[in-house]
Structure 1
Amino acid sequence: MNGHAENSRTETAPVVVTPAVLREWELPSAGASKYDRGQVVVVGGDRRSPGAALLAAEASLRVGAGRLTIALAEGAAIMAAVALRESGVVALPERDGQIVGSSIEAARDDLEPADAVLVGPGLDDAEQTLALLDRLPALVGDETTVVLDAYALGVLPRSKARDAFAGRLVLTPNPGEATMLLEAMDDGAGSDDEGAGSGDDGDGSADDDIERTVRALARAYDAVVSCQSRVAHPDGRLWLVGTGHGGLGTSGSGDVLSGAIAGLCARGVAREEAAVWATYAHAAAGDRLAVEVGPLGFLASELLLELPRVLVEVG
C-alpha cells in the first residue's frame, strides 16, 4: 500500500504502552533451531565507528534473533569477528575509511535470505550510504523487513529504496531527523544533516509537535516510525511508551534500539509490534540502569544485558 493511500486513514487516539498491552502481542516461541528465530543482517560500521554496528548487532541477538551477519568496513572486520564471536562477518571494501556503497554486492548471499536488514549504524559518508541504499532493493528478499537508522535515514529521501521498501520499512529517527525527513518530502530533495530540525516551534507544545511529526512521517514513507518513545503506524495508530530515563540519551543508545527492532522483526513479529516491544524494552532497560548505576553515566552496552530480562519479565 502506498503512502498516498495511507494519508486517507483516520488517526486514532494514542495507546499508552503497558505490560498488559504488550502481553496481547505474544512473542514467537523459541523454535527448534536458530533458523526458526530469523536471520538478521546489520549493514554499517565504517572504520571510524564499527562499535555502532556491533551494538546494534548484539541487540538483535539479545532479543532472540537466531542468526546474525554484520557487513562492515574491511578494516574493522577482524576486530568485529573477535568482538562478537556469535556473528558472521562480511568485509566490505572501503575508501578512506568509508564503506564503498557498491561493495554491498559482496553481502548478497547473506542479504537474500535475511528476514530483517538494518542499515545505518556506524556509517558516516552520505554519498557512499546513498549508493549502498540504492543497491539494496535488488539484493534482499521481497518479504524482508528493512530498518533504517542514522545516515541511512539522512539519504532516504533521495534513494530508490524509499519507494522500493514502502510497506516494509521501519525508521528510527530522532526528532530532528524526523523533521528533516518530512521537509525533504515537501521539498522533493533530501538533506544529509542528521541534526536538521527540532520539531519544537517554541510554543511549549514540543510533545504535540513530535506526535504530529511521527504520524505524518509514518504516512509519508509508508513506514513504522519509532521516535522518542513514540511509535507510529502509517494507518494512523500511535503508541506512547511512558517509561524511559534521560540517561538513554547517550552514545550508542539508538543503535541498541534499532538492533532490537531488527531482531524482533526477524523473529516474525509484525513491524509495529516489534517497534513497540523494542522501544519499551529499551526504555525499561534504561530505567533499571538508572537505579543500578545512576541516572546518568550508564553505557549503551550495558543496556544489552537488560533487554532479555525485560522481555522475560513482561512476557
Structure 2
Amino acid sequence: MPNRSEIEVITPGLLRQWPLPVPEGGKGARGTVLVVGGSRFTPGAVLLAGLAALRAGAGVLQLAVAESTAAALSIEVPEALVVGLAETGDGAVAGRDQERLGDLVGRADAIAVGPGLNDIDETTALLRQVLDAAKPDAALLLDAYALGALSHEPGLLADRKQPAVLTPNATEAGHLLGRDPGDDPDADAAELAERYGCVVSLRSHIAAPDGRRWREESGDAGLGTSGSGDVLAGILVGLLGRGADPAQATCWGAWVHAVSGQRLAPRYGRLGFLARELLDEVPHTLAQLG
C-alpha cells in the first residue's frame, strides 16, 4: 500500500497485491447489503445500485424505497427484499417514523444511503435513523443527497464507530468543502477525508483519513452518463458487504467501474453505452484479476 506522501495509480498489479475477501459458505457469508433511497420519481437509482452490489458479490440485498415504487421494484429485482417507506406528498422518502427501516438497518453489514433521494431535510432525518440503528461494524456509503445532508450537518458522522465512504461529485464536494473545488482533486479528496474521517472517492481520486491516496486512470468520458454514479455506489457497497475495508473497496470499485466501461466501448463507442449495461460487465471485470 502507498506511503502517506504518495499518490499511487490503481493498476491490476496493485489490486492483485491487495486481494478482496473471498467469503466461504452461503449467501450470509457474503454480506447483507441495504440500499436506502429511491423517491417516487427516481426508483431506478436504487435498482442500479442494488444490482451492482449483487454483481460485485454481495450475498443478500435489501432495498428500502418510497412505498409507491416498492411493488414495481420487487418485481424488477426478485433477488431482493424490498420494503416500502413512508413518503411525503411530493414523493420523497420521509425522514421520520420509518418503523420498518430500523430492522433492515440492524441486519445489514453494509448500507448505502442516497441513491434517488431528493429532499435534503428528509434525507438528513433519514440518515440519522440509519446511523442510530446500524451495527457498530456496519460499513456506510453516503452518496448523492446523503452527502448534501452531511454538508448541512457536518457533525453527523462525528463519534460514530461505523467506517464510511463518501462518493461526491464536483458539486457535492464543493458543498462538503464549503468552497469551490480547486484544480487539484487529489488535495480536495484528502482534505475531505481528513475533515470527515472517511474514505473519499472524488472523480477517480481516492483518499483515506490516514493520509493514503490513490488515483484511478482507466476511466473514460462514457462513464459520465446518467446512473453511472449509482452503479459505482452499488459496486462499492457490494464490496464492503463482502468484507473489504473502505479504502480497499473504494480502490477496487473505482477500477472495476472504469474498466467495465472500457469493455463496453468496442460495442457502443466511447459515449454510447448506458449505465445499466455496466452491470453485466462487473463480474467479468472482477474475474480478470482472479
Normalising by structure 1, report the TM-score.
Answer: 0.88
State percent identity of aligned pairs. Answer: 44
Shift of 1:30: 4.4
After superposition, the C-alpha distances for 1:71-128 in whole angstroms (9 at most, x for unaligned) are: 0000000010001110001110111211111144322112102110000000011111
Hey, what does 1:214 align to over in structure 2?
Answer: 189
Find the aligned partners of 1:95 and 1:284 in 2 and give their Cα distance.
39
Give the drift of 1:267: 0.6
- The match for 2:218 is 243
One-letter amino acid of the structure 2 residue matched with residue 171 of structure 1: L
1:137-216 matched pairs, under 5 angstroms:
137-159=131-153, 161-165=156-160, 168-183=163-178, 197=180, 199-200=181-182, 206=183, 209-216=184-191
Please tell me whether the aligned partners of residues 167 and 223 of structure 1 are also in contact (alpha carbons under 8 angstroms): no
| 1:89 matched to 2:82 | yes
Question: What are structure 2's unaligned runs of at least 5 residues?
Answer: none
> Higher mean Cα deviation, 153-162 or 236-245?
153-162
Q: Deviations over 1:227-282 (max 9, x none)?
A: 11111100111111110110100000000001111010011101100000000000
Amino acid paired to 1:80: L
Which of 217, 227, 231 pairs up with 2:202?
227
| CA deviation profile, 1:146-172 (whole Å, cap 9, x unmatched) | 100000001113345321446611000
Deviations 1:145-202 (A, max 9, x none): 1100000001113345321446611000012211220118xxxxxxxxxxxx4x24xx
Q: In the superposition, relative to structure 1, how do residues 104 and 259 fare at CA in structure 2: closer, same or farther (>3 Å)?
A: farther
RMSD over aligned Cα, in angstroms? Answer: 1.5
- Equivalent in 72, 75, 79 of residue 79 of structure 1: 72
Select which of 106, 116, 122 maps to 1:122: 116
8 A Cα contact 1:53 1:121, kept in partner: yes
Give me the whole-angstrom Cα distance separating, in 1, the residues matched to 2:42 and 2:178: 28
CA distances 1:200-221 after superposition (whole Å, capped 9, x unpaired): 4xxxxx3xx2111000000000
* Aligned with residue 113 of structure 1, among 94, 97, 107: 107
Corresponding position: 1:41 with 2:16: no
SS at match of 2:65: strand
In structure 1, the partner of 2:246 is 271
* CA contact 2:138–2:162 (8 Å) conserved in 1: no
CA distance in 2 between counterparts of 1:168 and 1:306 reads 28
Q: Is the 8 A contact 2:236 2:249 kept in 1?
A: yes
More displaced stretch, 99-108 vs 125-134: 99-108
- How far apart are residue 289 of structure 1 and its match? 1.2
For 1:214 and 1:166, the matched residues in 2 are separated by: 21
Q: Look up the equivalent residue of 2:177 and give its one-letter code.
A: L
Contact 1:224 1:271 in 2 (8 A): yes
Q: Which amino acid aligns with 1:55?
A: L
For 2:45 and 2:161, the matched residues in 1 are separated by 25
TM-score of the superposition, structure 2-length normalised?
Answer: 0.95
CA deviation vs aligned residue, 1:38-57 (integer Å, no higher than 9, x gap): 00000000001000011001
Partner of 1:15: 8
Structure 1: 5+ residue stretches without partners = 1-9, 185-196, 201-205
Other-structure match for 1:6: none
Letter in 2 for 1:121: P
**Higher mean C-alpha displacement, 175-184 vs 85-94:** 175-184
Q: Identify if the C-alpha distance between structure 1 residues 103 and 73 changes in structure 2 by more than 3 Å, giving closer, same or farther.
A: farther
> Paired residue for 1:257?
232
User: Which deviates further from its counterpart, 130-139 or 32-41?
Assistant: 130-139
Q: Distance in 1 between matches of 2:124 and 2:171?
A: 20
In structure 2, give the amino acid aligned to 1:270: D
